[in-house]
Structure 1
Amino acid sequence: MNLSKLTTEKRNPGSVNIDQISTIKLLQVINNEDKKVANKVEMVLPEVAIVVEKVMEALSNGGRLFYVGAGTSGRIGITDASECPPTFMTDPEMIQTVMAGGNTAFFQAVEGAEDNEQQGAVDLKTRGLTKKDVVIGITASGRTPYPIGALKYAQSVGAYAVSLTCNKNSEISRYADTGIEVVVGPEVLTGSTRMKAATAHKMILNMISTSTMVKLGKVYENLMVDLHASNYKLKERAKSIIMEITDVPYEKAGAVLDATNNEVKPAIVMIEAGVDFEKAKDALDKSKGYVRKAIEYLV
């Protein structure tokens, strides 16, 4: 493939003189390009919506979500996946990142790892991929062998395959059930897809994980009712959430939170329905974790 023909590898006419302009002018050039990203992401929302529904279905039925990428793409996946357990109290196995070169490549590039297509399949096979799972192959160019190998393997076992790229008609999309191609245009620094392309992909992964968790009942109104209150800051946030929803004073929120071993959902149900911890947990189990349904079940 002639990489120079890819949009992500083309020169940006608006930044050809960045090595000769003032600092503030340089920053303005970068900022003006960054402003274009959200509009480009908006254009692929229908495809993102399809993926959210598929991920929600998979996670509801015991499946998992895998992000697969190399370099910046893999690092974006790790960032999003690692934030889900503290934010939504998910099992770390639920959303995982498979990165070319292994997790050590998060800190230091492993040269040549992205070019090994077979390893992308091997690494997913090692994770025990099944048809219940969803795999999102992330590559700005759309031609990176490692995630392509992963998607080929995903389709071979019946898992739902998604491509996330920044070029139209990307090679990787040929192996995807849904292709998300967000074309943000040439980078300020030619070929440096850690810039606009990475920003677009970070936005889309945030959308996928957050929207899925909202639809799985881990959010009440716009509050994180399933957060893992594992430190002082998060415990204080948990109390604030309980106070906001139930209108109880700080001391009451803290006492009920202590009684639930720092679980926000049962604390809310206990207060709103006037029940003890066991009944609150039972109602949440019967409602599959949806706070509104649990309260309706009890009152």
Structure 2
Amino acid sequence: MTTEQPHPLTMGLGEVARADVGEALRLLFQVDEDVLDRYTAEVRSGRILAVGREVVAALARGGRLFFTGCGATGRLGVLLVAIWREFWQRAARAGWSDPDTAADWERRAVPVMAGGDYAFVRSVEGFEDHEGMGRKQLRDAGVQEGDVVFAVTEGGETPFVIGTAWAALEAGATPYFVYNNPDELLRKHVERSHRVLDEPRIRKWNLTTGPMAVTGSTRMQATSIELAVLVTVLELVLRWSGRVRPPGYGGATDGEAPESLPARFGEAMQWMWRQLASGPGLQALTRWVTMECEVYRRGGRVNYYAGSLAADLLTDTAERTPTFSLPAFRKHGDTTAAPSWAFLYVPQPDSVRAWSYVFKRPPVCLEWTRDEVRSLVPPERVAGVWETLGRIRLEELLRFRIGEDGLSDRPLGPGDGAVCLAGPEDLPFLCRPEGFLRRRWEEARAAGAGAGLVLVAPPQVWENGRTWLREWKGGGFVAGFRTAAEEFWLGGPTRVVVKMMLNAVSTATMARLGRVMGNVMTWVVPSNGKLIDRATRYICQLTGLGYEAANRLLFEALEQVEERMRSGRAHPPVVGLAVMRHRLGVDWSEAERRFWAETGVPPAGGFPG
């Protein structure tokens, strides 16, 4: 598949990152040009406008809008709905729409992520590979005739997402199948994809951009283009709905025709992307990556603090875990799991309110019965899925204390780091002495931790904020990016470019720390069918073994680390462990010892994960 091929621009990314962080970032942003080019092609085709018209017509008739996905696309749906709901909440507060209308339209967008909202934070095994799981979750969410469902899958082959497309059709809804691989490849190699592509009642939206910057890492360009086109559709729906009119919101010009909006969106996205890819912006991001690498090498940890961009930042931190075999967020009270390298805190006093703040709604986790599980999976899988459900219920999600009640769980000290990410709505958190971000910054400085501020704001904020910005620079790095002079009601270009920035920073950091070889994710966690296939092919590439032998070796390595992986304890990457055993011809214990010795990473503590 195209999404699983290496990108020619980044063939030596791992080696470049270890020699020159700035050059590695520049290469990653250069690959993002594929996203900008694809978006321009979609604008010229008129497809974004056509889809927007169909969605607003469905909502005007009382329908709802669903976004379904797994992993990165599941988080994409949660993010899109959070952006939508936040706008309507603001519209009600500001009087841009009457409260009843705003409350009604706020509820019209619904995310359906494989594994429920718990999976937004930590990957959930056993859901992505089953069409029946997707059918059930969408039905449980209440899909019905007149609704519109965007079934989003980067590869175009994910069973869960395909199940939601069929469930939408069966309910009388209008399904859009959104994907990033060429039709001819999917038809040739994947029968379940073939059936979807040949069903005329399912609308197809192919957003192929080419290979990813890191081989197979579809959280990057594939999900970026999906975010760009879908948030533009939501923006058009708002403009055409007639239910809201925010006068002068963000500098937007009310008189301009919505039909010109996609082209203006693309121009704004290009303008912001150029700030990332060169000049002071690239230099500041280089300092950010360098700081994080130094912290992790010392065995330290990083705390992130965010307000309006919390869901964006949480998306990126959660996706690092399976991509680079990092320890996931640790729950409050868990003394056995390895502490995560990074964690996120938001300006809410407790974590119950914090999760609603991130999602812009109360979190929704799965509460299925054992009989429901039996109806979905073969008998031999029931016990495993039932055990998984016990770990992903609402009370378990709330154990991730991302509110201020969790700050005492990760006090910063010398050798640690702190990064504050702020959007234009977060200025009170920055400027006021009692502001959440300001207090966290000062605490980090007092503790001797490294610190940085990443501010994404309109030009006037930078003109008016020179004094307090100088104060922030006194304690660490400041990375500043200006949003387009003409902002959009949903801030879409900003969200896309922030995603590109976070993807590049986390990828360059992991590559510099040796978790990318060339542009291969040698630390990937094979937690589902797609990732098992990917890890097998990596072993083939690194050992010369045939596919069957490499697959057998992978599963033997998984057996060695499975217990530690499930409990969140430190363990070696299964691809690296398998390759070491094959190359040296030693037993598993010796292979693990040699792996840690040759990579220069200790087998315990904060760094290895």
1:131 match = 145
1:15 matches 2:10: yes
CA distance in 2 between partners of 1:19 and 1:150 (Å): 37
Distance 2:245 2:165 in 1: 31
Deviation at 1:29, TM superposition (A): 0.8
Give the TM-score normalised by structure 2.
0.35
Deviates more, 1:169-178 or 1:149-158: 169-178
Q: For the structure 1 residues 219 and 197, does the alpha-carbon distance in structure 2 shift closer, same or farther, using more than 3 Å as the test? A: farther
Name the CA distance, whole Å, in 2 between partners of 1:29 and 1:166. Answer: 21
CA–CA distance in 1 between the matches of 2:68 and 2:229? 14
Counterpart position of 2:222? 197
Question: What aligned pairs does 1:10-159 form with structure 2 within 5 A after superposition?
Answer: 10-21=5-16, 22-45=20-43, 46-89=46-89, 90=102, 91=104, 92-159=106-173
Task: After superposition, give the CA deviation of every residue in 1:205-260 in whole Å (9 maximum; x if it has no partner).
Answer: 211111111111224576379xxxxxxx69x9xxxxxxxxxxxxxxxxxxxxxxxx
Q: Distance in 2 between matches of 1:173 and 1:41?
A: 22
How far, CA to CA, are the matches of 1:219 and 1:19 in structure 2?
48
Q: CA deviation at 1:50?
A: 2.3
Secondary structure in 2 matching 1:131: coil
Which of the two has higher C-alpha Rg? 2
Aligned partners of 2:7 and 2:248: how far apart in 1? 39
C-alpha separation in 2, matches of 1:174 and 1:59: 27
Contact 1:59 1:94 in 2 (8 A): yes
1:147-176 Cα offsets, whole Å, 9 max, x none, are: 100111111222111011111215254456
CA shift at 1:112, angstroms?
A: 2.7
Q: What is the aligned counterpart of 2:249 among 214, 223, 247?
A: 223
Contact map agreement 2:177 2:204 (CA 8 A) in 1: yes
- 1:53-95: CA deviations, max 9, x gaps? 1110111011000000000101011011012122134444300
Relative to structure 1, the CA distance from residue 139 to residue 198 in structure 2 (aligned partners, 3 Å threshold; closer, same or farther) is same
CA distance in 2, matches of 1:105, 1:53: 32
Equivalent residue letter for 2:237: T
Distance apart, 1:30 and its partner CA: 0.4
Q: Percent identity?
A: 28
The yes-or-no answer on 1:162 pairing with 2:176 is yes
Q: Distance in 1 between matches of 2:133 and 2:83?
A: 26
Aligned residue for 2:239?
A: 214
2:212 is paired with a residue whose SS is coil
* Contact map agreement 1:44 1:180 (CA 8 A) in 2: no
Report Cα offsets for 1:186-213 as digits up to 9, x if no partner: 0111000111111111111211111111
For this pair of structures, how many residues does the alignment match?
Answer: 223
Q: Is the 8 Å Cα contact of residues 142 and 173 (structure 1) preserved in structure 2?
A: no
Deviation, structure 1 residue 127: 2.0
Distance 2:114 2:8 in 1: 33
CA deviation after TM superposition for structure 1 residue 49, in Å: 2.3
Three-state SS of the structure 1 residue aligned to 2:49 is helix
Give distance in 2, aligned partners of 1:223 and 1:174. 43
CA contact (8 A) 1:62 1:132 kept: yes
Q: How does 1:169-180 map to 2 (within 5 A)?
A: 169=183, 170=186, 171=193, 172-175=196-199, 177-180=202-205
1:88/1:213 contact within 8 Å kept: no
Give me the CA root mean square deviation. Answer: 2.2
TM-score (norm: length of structure 1): 0.69
* Structure 2 residue matching 1:63: 3-state secondary structure: coil
Give the Cα–Cα distance (whole angstroms) in 1 for the partners of residues 143 and 41 of structure 2: 31
Q: Is the 8 A contact 2:9 2:31 kept in 1?
A: no
Residues 11, 187 of structure 1: 8 Å contact kept: yes
> How many Å separate the matches in 2 of 1:8 and 1:130?
33
Letter in 1 for 2:7: N
Q: Contact conserved, 2:165 with 2:202, CA < 8 A, in 1?
A: no
Offset from partner CA, 1:98-129 (integer Å, 9 cap, x none): 01011100010001311110111111111221
Return the alpha-carbon distance in structure 1 between the equivalents of residues 163 and 26 of structure 2: 39
Measured at CA, do residues 78 and 162 of structure 1 come closer, stay the same or move farther in structure 2, by a change above 3 Å? same
**Distance verdict in 2 for CA 1:150–1:11, change over 3 Å:** same
Amino acid at match of 1:167: N
Opposite residue 85 of structure 1, the aligned amino acid is R
2:498 maps to which residue? none
Aligned equivalents of 2:245, 2:134: Cα separation in 1:
34
For the Cα contact (< 8 Å) 1:140–1:197, is it kept in 2? Answer: yes
Output the amino acid matched with 1:80. Answer: L
Q: Which runs of 5+ in 1 are unaligned?
A: 1-5, 226-232, 237-299
In 2 relative to 1, CA 221–211 (structure 1 residues): closer, same or farther, beyond 3 Å?
farther
Separation in 2 of the partners of 1:118 and 1:34? 35
* Amino acid across the alignment from 2:223: A
Closer, same or farther: CA 219–42 of 1 in aligned 2, 3 Å: farther
Q: Secondary structure at the match of 2:146?
A: coil
Q: Which residue of the partner structure matches residue 507 of structure 2? A: none
CA distance, structure 1, for counterparts of residue 203 and residue 49 of structure 2: 10
Name which of structure 1's ranges 89-98 and 33-42 shifts more when overlaid on structure 2.
89-98
CA displacement at 1:36 relative to structure 2: 2.1
* Structure 2 stretches lacking a partner, 5+ long: 90-101, 187-192, 253-424, 429-609
Deviation at 1:183, TM superposition (A): 1.2
